[in-house]
């Protein structure tokens, strides 16, 4: 039976439009860093690197190699962690060109350095010049507050406000201004009012 993250990991990917507290353990990701407005070709090219590598791993058995521990699964959604440069933080208005981000796609636990390198060799055939910037790593968000945001990305501050109220009411504090976003919608197929994005802050007790 195919592993489907939306069914098997509802605590993370089945988030409702209300804040919840959870602990997120170590997860493997293929990542790539960037800076600037995400509404650019550069950002799209970075996403293409992540999907190219992720699907190369997913399809390996059909190409004649089955990694140890491999199982059938649905490729995880795109995620990103977002921050601002010093200039961006000092500005009274949001300067998208000052975004600092790491976008990533989670990988099953069987993915190791050898599997990643094999995927890299496969993805090289597409000649994306940004491929060399991708890397495999583990990330542990730990204690976190997350909430489903429905609608355009530019409306996210409304959801963040609700999350911050929840954090205060539960005697917690945000560990970092860097937040995580998990993109459940294919933005090429749905209009912005239909976007579904999980927002997450890493938190700690006061």
Spatial separation of the C-alpha atoms in residues 184 and 199, rounded to whole Å? 11
Give kind and range of the element (H or E) at residue 148.
strand 135-150
* Residue 127 pLDDT level (bands cut at 50, 70, 90): confident
Distance between CA atoms of 37 and 99, rounded to whole angstroms? Answer: 7
What pTM value is reported for the model? 0.95
Rounded to 10°, the helix 113-123/41-58 angle is 120
Question: Is 62 in contact with 165 (CB distance < 8 Å)?
Answer: no
How many helices (H) does the chain have, and how many strands (E)? 6, 7
* Cα–Cα distances in angstroms (integers) from residue 70 to residues 29, 53, 54, in the given order: 16, 16, 13
**Class for domain 5-205, per CATH?**
alpha beta
Q: If pLDDT is split at 50, 70 and 90, which confidence band does 122 have?
A: very high
pLDDT recorded at residue 185: 94
Task: Give me the chain's average pLDDT, please.
Answer: 95
**Minimal CA–CA distance to 13: which of 200, 199, 198?**
198
* Mean pLDDT for the stretch of residues 151-171: 96
At residue 13 the predicted structure's pLDDT band, cuts being 50, 70 and 90, is: very high
Q: Which of 135, 137, 112 is nearest to 49 (CA)?
A: 135
Residues 60 and 67 sit within 8 Å (Cβ to Cβ): yes
In the chain, domain spans: 5-205
* Averaged pLDDT, 171-190: 93
Q: Indicate if the pLDDT at residue 1 is higher than 90.
A: no
Residues 130/49, Cβ–Cβ less than 8 Å: yes
pLDDT digits (tens, 9 = 90+) for 188-204: 889 999 999 999 999 99
Q: Exposed, middle or buried: residue 13 (CB in 10 Å: 0-12, 13-18, 19+)?
A: middle
Return d(Cα 80, Cα 180) in angstroms, integer. Answer: 6
Per-residue pLDDT tens digits for 31-80: 999 999 999 999 999 999 999 999 999 999 999 999 999 999 999 999 99
Per-residue confidence band for 177, with pLDDT thresholds at 50, 70 and 90: confident
Distance, CA of 148 to CA of 22 (rounded, Å): 14
Structure confidence by residue, pLDDT tens digits, 91-121: 998 899 999 999 999 999 999 999 999 999 9
């Amino acid at each position: 039976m195919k592993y489907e993250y939306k069914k098997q990991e509802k605590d993370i990917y089945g988030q409702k439009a209300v804040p919840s507290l959870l602990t997120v353990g170590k997860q493997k990701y293929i990542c790539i860093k960037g800076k600037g407005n995400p509404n650019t070709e550069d950002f799209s090219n970075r996403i293409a690197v992540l999907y190219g590598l992720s699907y190369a791993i997913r399809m390996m058995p059909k190409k004649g190699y089955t990694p140890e521990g491999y199982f059938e699964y649905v490729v995880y959604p795109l995620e990103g962690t977002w921050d601002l440069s010093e200039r961006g933080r000092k500005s009274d208005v949001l300067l998208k060109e000052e975004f600092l981000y790491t976008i990533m796609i989670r990988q099953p636990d069987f993915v190791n350095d050898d599997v990643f390198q094999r995927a890299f060799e496969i993805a090289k055939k597409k000649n994306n010049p940004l491929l060399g910037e991708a890397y495999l790593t583990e990330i542990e968000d730990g204690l976190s507050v997350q909430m489903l945001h429905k609608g355009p990305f530019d409306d996210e501050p409304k959801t963040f406000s609700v999350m911050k109220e929840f954090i205060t009411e539960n005697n917690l504090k945000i560990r970092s201004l860097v937040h995580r976003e998990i993109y459940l919608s294919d933005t090429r197929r749905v209009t912005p009012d239909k976007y579904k994005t999980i927002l997450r802050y890493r938190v700690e007790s006061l």
